[in-house]
Structure 1
Amino acid sequence: MIATLSGGTRDALAGASARLDLVLVPGFKDSGPEHWQSLWETGLPTFQRIAQRRWDNPDIELWIAAIARLLAERRRPAVLIGHSLGALASSCLAADGHRLVAGLMLVAPAEPARFEAEERVPQTPLGVPTLVVASHNDPMMRFARAEHWAKTWTADLADLGEAGHINAEAGFGPWPHGLDLLAGLVSKVLVSLET
């Protein structure tokens, strides 16, 4: 897969791995082998993935704890790349002020009410460079709600149009455009770490 990346994307991700961890945070029931998160993990050695004891228990606090465990083991600034429930959990850890969360790529965040997380999901800016990636026909969250969250979190918003839940079922396998989006975010994160 690395051969399909542009030079700028390849350079940005390689440069990032010297200073940052890139942490994949799957959603409810994990990301299967054809999901872009799994393909990124197997195709590029720069990615770490959280370990979850029970992927079938959608308790957001379990997701937050799993991210915190990995960050404690790694002890380096990290960009969290969360999908669905994983995106919500990532936003919570950033809002909690975890010192190692340096940036967030929140792909197809789920509606918090779907996971009884309305009270937990932050209603304030997240304090780190953040990109929300959303779709107009995502069954887990309407696009207007994704816009609301991007504004609330002071995040950039990438509008993918009609892209479903941005997962394997919606046709997102290796997703090189997602890696391009991540490379752009990583560049912002590296600048923010220098200031």
Structure 2
Amino acid sequence: MHTTLIVPGLHGSGPTHWQSWFEAVHPQARRVHQADWAHPVLDVWAEEVIDAIDAASGQVILVAHSFGCLASVAAAAHRAPRIAGALLVAPADPVKFGVEALLPAEVLPFPSIVVASTNDPWVAIDTAALWAERWRSRFVNVGAKGHINVESGFGPWSEGYALYESLAAAAGVGPRGRAAAGLAPLSRTLHGREAGPQARYV
């Protein structure tokens, strides 16, 4: 058995975000929570990821978005043996947050995928590709898809789940979610849910 840890970025991921869909369709998924979603501090956020890894059952696959990618990679430097793989979607530019020197620039010792967009306001495609090269991550360019969030149309995301499944297979833990079991995704439920007033999730 493995645990999938959902690691959101700034302001968390709202109920119609693709990360929330992942969490809903995957029975072994757990969300990493932050005390302050509005003011990300790398070492504080990374510590929450470390705590979640320590509390998880078995190996862990990280499914991260935006600043959550940076926190995940920082945490991985301290818990690499527990991590089976990492799906890093739309990683925020470390320079924008002044944390470039705090991130590992060497090869990640587990399978990883970096997914990026050509018009992401939070990171240039070349910057995302550079970090993917440093980490020896598989790099996936999804084209002009913004920050790969709700605002750019990413709620239920079957292509992203397929990337997750390929990562799980490469890590040797295998897919476990509803989609892998042939069950219908919960897209209708998530699309129909009333989110109400909320912060702008990125």
TM-score, normalized by length of structure 1? Answer: 0.85
8 Å CA contact retained: 1:21, 1:77:
yes
8 Å CA contact retained: 1:103, 1:130:
yes
The answer to whether the aligner puts 1:69 opposite 2:87 as a matched pair is no
Q: Quote the Cα distance in structure 2 between the aligned partners of 1:93 and 1:103.
A: 13
Gaps of 5+ in 2: 174-202
Q: Quote the Cα distance in structure 1 between the aligned partners of 2:158 and 2:8.
A: 18
Shift of 1:45: 2.1
Aligned position for 1:16: none
Aligned position for 1:35: 17
Aligned position for 1:116: 98
Q: Quote the Cα distance in structure 2 between the aligned partners of 1:29 and 1:100.
A: 27
Q: How many residues align?
A: 174
Q: Deviations over 1:71-101 (max 9, x none)?
A: 1112421010110000111111223343211
8 Å CA contact retained: 1:75, 1:100:
no
Higher relative helix content: 1
Structure 2 SS opposite 1:123: coil
1:96 to 74, 78, 85: 78
Aligned position for 1:151: 133
**Identity of paired residues, percent?**
38
Gaps of 5+ in 1: 1-18
2:64 to 79, 82, 87: 82
1:132 maps to a residue whose letter is: V
Q: Determine which structure has greater relative contact order: mean sequence separation of CA pairs < 8 Å that are 6+ residues apart, divided by chain length.
A: 2
- Give the stretch that moved more between structures: 50-59 or 137-146: 50-59
1:35 maps to a residue whose letter is: H
Shift of 1:20: 1.2
8 Å CA contact retained: 1:94, 1:127:
no
2:155 to 144, 158, 173: 173
Alignment RMSD (CA, Å): 1.5
Aligned position for 2:196: none
1:111 maps to a residue whose letter is: D
Structure 1: 4+ residue segments shifted above 6 A: none
1:53 to 17, 35, 40: 35
